[in-house]
Amino acid sequence: MERFITPAALARCLPFVLFMALLMLRGALPIDGTSPIDPRWVYGITVLVVGASLAFFWRKYTELHKGTWLSLPELGLSVAVGVVVWALWVNLDHPWLMMGVEDKVSFTPVDANGDLIWPLIVVRLIGAALLVPVMEELFWRSFLMRWVDKPEFESVDPKAVTLKAIVLSTFVFMLVHTLWFAAILAGLAYAWLYRRTGKLWAPIVAHAVTNGVLGVWVVIMGAWEFW
């Protein structure tokens, strides 16, 4: 355990743990109006808390510092992968491709009259397209995928991660998503990007594009079940 709970590991795990804990809190709140806090705004609290934790640990995220930016071809590839993952996500929603049923009522950004609550939508988009990709890729790819190969994960070259590491980390990634098959494909796509470029910004950009396009698509189509 001493080798697992290192400052570098803590910096990549704690924001993710906080995010999941606050999501569980949201799910525990009643949605019938009896809760002192509107469950939908717990996401806003989550953005602030997780964002603060990422800012606190920023110096430890060496893979995101200057000199790790993407080249233009790498950026284009990342954007393309993000769009493909979005397309898969919204089409692979058949019942047999889903694991369990997730309550989405508290994420529906409309009031009693059916009008959109734009502040709620903006907060959701900021969190999903900017904060979540950084937080998740630091945990799933930078930490967990490399840790599977070696507890001293910072010494593992992303371009040298093994198939075992990619498969195991993707499997765990799948377990926390309702759309399990889409999650497998997304996890493999983001892992492939990280391994191919050796830069964490690649899966972060792809993840951000997926979530950003998904958010806009949800607002346009009213497909709240994907949000």
DSSP secondary structure string for all residues of 113-132? TS-B-HHHHHHHHHIIIIIH
Mean pLDDT of 53-79: 95
Instruction: Determine the number of helices (DSSP H) and then strands (DSSP E) in the chain.
Output: 9, 0
Number of residues assigned to the chain = 227
**Distance from C-alpha of 146 to C-alpha of 186, rounded to nearest angstrom:** 18
Mean pLDDT of 123-132: 94
Mean pLDDT of the chain: 90
Q: What is the pLDDT of residue 2?
A: 47
Amino acid identity, position 29: L
Instruction: Name 147's Cβ contacts closer than 8 Å, sequence gap at least 6.
Output: 4, 9, 153
pLDDT of 62 > 70? The answer is yes
pLDDT of 71 > 60? The answer is yes
**Distance from C-alpha of 227 to C-alpha of 221, rounded to nearest angstrom:** 11
Q: What is the pLDDT of residue 109?
A: 86
- pLDDT-above-90 percentage for the chain: 70
Mean pLDDT of 160-183: 95
User: Helix, strand, coil % (nearest 5) of the chain?
Assistant: 75, 0, 25
Mean pLDDT of 164-173: 96
Q: Give per-residue pLDDT as tens, 95-124.
A: 888 875 554 445 788 887 888 889 989 999
Q: What is the pLDDT of residue 91?
A: 93
Q: What is the pLDDT of residue 28?
A: 79
**Distance from C-alpha of 153 to C-alpha of 144, rounded to nearest angstrom:** 8
Q: What is the pLDDT of residue 94?
A: 83
Mean pLDDT of 73-86: 98
pLDDT of 1 > 70? The answer is no
Bridge partners of 116? 110
pLDDT of 135 > 70? The answer is yes
Q: What is the pLDDT of residue 33?
A: 66
Residue 50 pLDDT grade (very low, low, confident, very high; cuts 50, 70, 90): very high
- pLDDT-above-70 percentage for the chain: 93
**pTM of this prediction?**
0.91
Give the DSSP letter of residue 102: -
Amino acid identity, position 18: L
Amino acid identity, position 146: R
